[in-house]
Amino acid sequence: MKPLYTQQAELSEKYIQKKISEFLNEDKADLDLTTEAALLNHTKQVTGQIVAEEDLVFAGAAIIHSIFKKTNTQNLISNGQKCRAGDIIAIISGDAQLLLSRERVLLNLLQHLSGIASLTNCYVKTLNSKSIKILDTRKTTPGLRLFEKQAVTIGGGYNHRLDLCDGIMFKDNHLAITTNLKNSLNQLKNTHANKNIQVEIDTFEQLQTLFNKASIQVDAILLDNMLPEEVISCVEFIRNKTPNCFIEVSGGITLDNLLHYRDIDIDGISVGAITHQAVSKNIKFEFK
């Protein structure tokens, strides 16, 4: 089944440049006192290498070009490509002050995004399914959401909704304040006909109530924090009622129990950990 939402497989050069400018400004990259003192107001041309210090799936090729637009940059590794420890990711030649003043921002981003791509890829390879998608969530770092979601796609995963306007999802707290779910769903379908509607379900009884109350079909159902046997019962019920509904499971699913859900007729498994628990990969920048 196709993804519910737009995928962040590519980011515009304009967007990347805007964010990089913000990051460099935050680090006062143009006021690098240490490098100024080291060079004694002279210029020096150097060549640096970005090197993987551990196995990883690389993400961040466009960031290198954006940060070092005024240098001679050669990317040797592409997004999504697997690196071994010691592999050279890119070679950059240019002014020493420019390279050094941007080194930390560069590495912070490459290490973080490669960590997300690598962990996502680990989930994708472990699941090894052609029909079930590994999905991210909105558990992202403020200011880095698009970068992180792109890193998920680079690792072979898929993007859940980008933001609160990208789709409609009734969770526990929304259901708690909803006075009339049927009216709410019908109003949303009338005013936002192009938006997917998803409802989070915690129990089989709640699922039955949803279909008894709602006079319109929802586009997706999220089965939250359910054991595999509970998911199976819910999936059979949903497929009988609305065969084309996107069925997602979430909550407490890790690499250790992921395969317990592989043979169930679901469409996606959302794992917040692929963004908010990914460990940055060791990548260094050194002068030749």
pLDDT at residue 205 tops 90: yes
Query: For 128-276, CATH number?
Result: 3.20.20.70
Give the pLDDT score at 213.
Answer: 72
Please give the biggest Cα pair distance in the chain: 76
User: What distance in Å separates the CA atoms of residue 66 and residue 106, rounded to the nearest whole number?
Assistant: 10
* pLDDT above 70: percentage of residues in the chain: 99
Please report, for residues 113, 132, 247, 248, the alpha-carbon distance to residue 262 in angstroms, rounded to integers and kept in the order given.
27, 8, 13, 12
- Residue predicted with more confidence, 228 or 34: 228
Q: Give the lowest-confidence range in 7-16, 21-30, 173-182, 255-264.
A: 173-182
pLDDT at residue 39 tops 80: no
Q: Where are the beta strands (DSSP E) in the chain?
A: 45-52, 56-57, 72-75, 82-83, 88-95, 133-135, 168-170, 197-201, 220-224, 246-250, 268-270, 283-287
pLDDT in tens, 211-228: 887 667 789 999 999 999
Pairing, β 197-201 against β 220-224: parallel
Residue spans per domain, the chain: 13-124+279-287, 128-276
The verdict on whether 139 is a catalytic residue reads yes
pLDDT in tens, 66-99: 999 889 999 999 999 999 999 999 999 999 888 9
* pLDDT above 90: percentage of residues in the chain: 77
- Out of 82, 139, 182, 284, pick the active-site residue: 139
Which residue is listed with tokens 């995963």? 157
Name the class of domain 13-124+279-287. alpha beta
pTM for the whole structure: 0.94
